[in-house]
Each structure stands twice: as structure tokens, then as C-alpha cells.
Amino acid sequence: MILIRHGQTEFNRVYSETGRDPGIRDPQLTAVGRSQAAAVAQALAAMNPSRLIVSPYTRALETAEIIATDLGLPISVEPLIAERFAFTCDIGTPLAMLQARWLDIAFDHLPDPWWPAREETVGALSRRSELFCSRIAREAWSRIAVITHWGFIRAVTGLKVPNGAALRIDPTRPDRRAEPLFFPVRVNPGDRRPLWRKI
């Protein structure tokens, strides 16, 4: 299974520079974030994924939309892989608004609201990640790409990864280390560096 961190948002940009919560609810991707998602799509093409599982947050859905369009993949939404609820950016978008924007994606299995009412503990996130991995281990997981978040990826792998990074894990073997695959390096159209490189 391939774990992908969504592309950069304005929240990510400000927080990485200041260490402060800028107060942006469920942020969208920046231009850099959209470039990162496009780079992920190009790198994933050689891995031949069969489908995308995505968090309900807008940043993950926008990342998935770019990848799915490029690779012709179906998208399914899974709240178990959402970010740990701890910052303003983790206040989600109501279902009606998500359904109006993404008409071809099913959201009817989510509660409304689908995000927690109060800060989630690290232990709760860990249990959620274990539940997801145990469920996905019963599927044909080797060709599934999962678009998720910094906190969820850290809960599963113990690694801190940048926006647009991808790792491969075996959900049937939690004792094995994640295999870092790549992260995007080109974020501007005039940049001549490769779109992505291996970590």
C-alpha cells in the first residue's frame, strides 16, 4: 500500500514558517500543493495503482482529484485516515458542501459532521490507524494508494514526511519499516529539476 501526504496548503505554508496556527479551516491546496499532487501522479503512473482511498478533508480530496484525473482512478472516501483533530485546519467541511463540489464521489457513509467535536488524543489516532491497516490488509492492498496526512502517516510509520511524499508499507507486517518512495522537488513551471526524486 502506498501512503501519500496531501499537497501543500496555505495552513502548511504559514505553520512551517511561524509554528503558529493561522486559523484556516479545512484549507485548499496552494499552487505549490497542486504541483506536488501532479508530481505524485507522474511518479505513481509507473506503480500502476488500481484505486485511491482518500481522507474527507479538502486538501486530500483536491490531491486525489488531480491524481485520479491523470491516472483514471476511482476515489473512495475513508474517515479513518483523516488527520488527527488538533488544529483549526482540522475542522472539516459539511457533507452537503463536499457532495456539491465532488458529485462523482460518495460521501453518504460519513456522519455529519464527520470530524470530532474536540481534540483527538494521540492514542485515539493510533487505534484508528491500526483499525484501518487491519481492514486494508484483507484487501488487494498492494495496488492501493492512500491520500492522507502528516499525523496519520506518522502514526502508521513513525516517520515525519513533507507534503507530497509517498511511502510504501505492508499493512500485514506492522513490524516492517516503511519504504520511502519519493517526494516532489519541482514546484514552479520554470523549474528544470525533475518532478520528483526518491527519498
Residue 193 pLDDT: 52
Domain range 2-197, CATH architecture? 3-Layer(aba) Sandwich (3.40)
Percent of the chain with pLDDT over 90: 81
Model pTM score: 0.91
List b or e across 33-72, with b for residues whose CB sees 16 or more CB atoms inside 10 angstroms. Answer: bbbbbbbbbbbbeeeebebbbbbbbbbbbbbbbbbbeebe
Ramachandran angles phi, psi of 129, nearest 5°: -65, -40
Query: How much is the average pLDDT of 144-163?
Result: 95
**Mean local confidence (pLDDT), 156-178:** 92
